[in-house]
Amino acid sequence: MHNEILTIFDEAGNRTGTAPREEVHRLGHWHETFHCWFISKDQEVPYIYLQLRSEQKQDYTGLLDITAAGHLLANETVEDGIREVQEELGLDLSFKDLIPLGTIPYSMKKENLIDNERAHVFVYNNPNRLEDFKLQKEEVAGIVKAKFSDFRRFWQGKIHRLQVNGFQIDPHGHRITIEQDVNKNHFVPHDMGYYTSIIEGIESIFLISPVVTEDK
């Protein structure tokens, strides 16, 4: 995985060549990724889905993240990114089922990692039950969902804990129910501009109106 060859870009989005993934993250080259956010409605209440990253991952282990995501290799198109959903979640989707939110550039930095991404972001209106997810244990340890209205308020800073519900796979392969409140330390640290973009995009696609509620 870490010897993958990625296409690299300048800040303006112009292709400048290719480089190994390790070099891309070490030197901070801009590169392409595929992000897919799952949304569903239960009794007309919208929910957003999050993956729990596997403890086997090199970075951000055990944190909540985009439903399915990954790097686009140098020989891949954006459409090829659908493989991330199939590999990580075990769901056989068609690219035409995805709704595009556009390309969102953003950066994440930590020790020994400069992650400058041009993220091709999509939304999927999910009809599947949690029981239908067949997770790739090397990548994903669990799937949870949260009310979209709470997710919005959480990232707007109006509430400081978010209730999530779903399941996690234990070391023996058994599913354990998750029902807990999480804070921002439980999430991969994408910047606020990224979350604002995807929240506004999902609202516009699904005609979800921001609801004025009392802060908890």
pLDDT digits (tens, 9 = 90+) for 198-213: 999 999 988 665 554 4
Distance CA 167, CA 182 (A): 14
- Identify which of 64, 66, 67, 69 has the alpha carbon closest to the alpha carbon of residue 182: 64
In the chain, domain spans: 5-206
- SS3 category, 52: strand
Q: For position 215, what pLDDT does the model report?
A: 46
Classify 5-206 by CATH class.
alpha beta
pLDDT digits (tens, 9 = 90+) for 30-75: 999 999 999 999 999 999 999 999 999 988 999 999 999 999 999 9
| CA atoms within a 13 Å half-sphere pointing along the CA-CB vector of 21 | 13
User: What pTM, to 2 d.p., does this model score?
Assistant: 0.93
Distance CA 102, CA 119 (A): 8
Could you tell me the pLDDT band of residue 3, with boundaries at 50, 70 and 90? confident
Tokens 């041009």 belong to 118
